[in-house]
Amino acid sequence: MITPLDLTDRTLAERLLAIQHAAYAVEAELIGFDGIPPLQEDLAGLMRSTEHWLGRYDGSTLVGAVAYEFPDDDTIEIARLIVDPAHARRGHGKALLDHLDQAEPRPVSLVSTGSANAPAVNLYKSRGYTETGQVEVAPGIYVTQFSRGS
């Protein structure tokens, strides 16, 4: 089941933060950099998020989420895609992206991820995203930007 998330619900936000920290800890290990902003975020910061959130449940357990924004009327930007590492490699990330495509169709979709995060890079490429650039966020640490659509 995929449903919108209300981050003013403290219990939900606590679970989401635990998933976020666990997911970004995996990415930090993959890319060799632990300065990823969501990895440093605290509960108050997460609960203040102005992003839109969808959560994926396995039964009653939140196992993943996608956060997104609308920079303009034609564009959706995926800000975060997180899956609890205990539930990884089971299609939850793909399901969240599929649901987002149906729920919020836009001509242009943007996303970025650590360049050395091969699982995320492969997921986005498999969904039709093409690389539009790279940004060095720390010495020797790169983030790849992707776009799909117009």
What is the per-residue pLDDT across 24-70, written as a single tens digit (0 to 9) for each?
A: 999 888 888 888 888 889 999 999 999 999 999 999 999 999 999 99
Both tokens assigned to 100: 């987002």
Give the per-residue pLDDT at 85: 94
Residue 8 lies in a domain: yes
The structure tokens 């299609």 sit at: 91
Residue 102 lies in a domain: yes
Answer yes or no: are the C-beta atoms of 69 and 30 closer than 8 Å. no
Give the per-residue pLDDT at 150: 65
| Structural domain boundaries enclosing 103 | 2-109
Q: What percent of the chain has pLDDT over 90?
A: 83
Does the pLDDT at position 120 exceed 80?
Answer: yes
Residue 64 lies in a domain: yes
Number of domains in the chain: 1
Residue 128 lies in a domain: no
Give the per-residue pLDDT at 36: 86
Is the overall model pTM greater than 0.75, yes or no? yes
Among 20, 101, 92, which Cα is nearest to 68's?
101
CATH number for the domain spanning 37: value is 3.40.630.30
User: How high does pLDDT run on average in the chain?
Assistant: 94
Answer yes or no: are the C-beta atoms of 52 and 67 closer than 8 Å. yes
Beta strands (DSSP E) in 73-103 are 75-83
**Section 94-110 average pLDDT:** 95
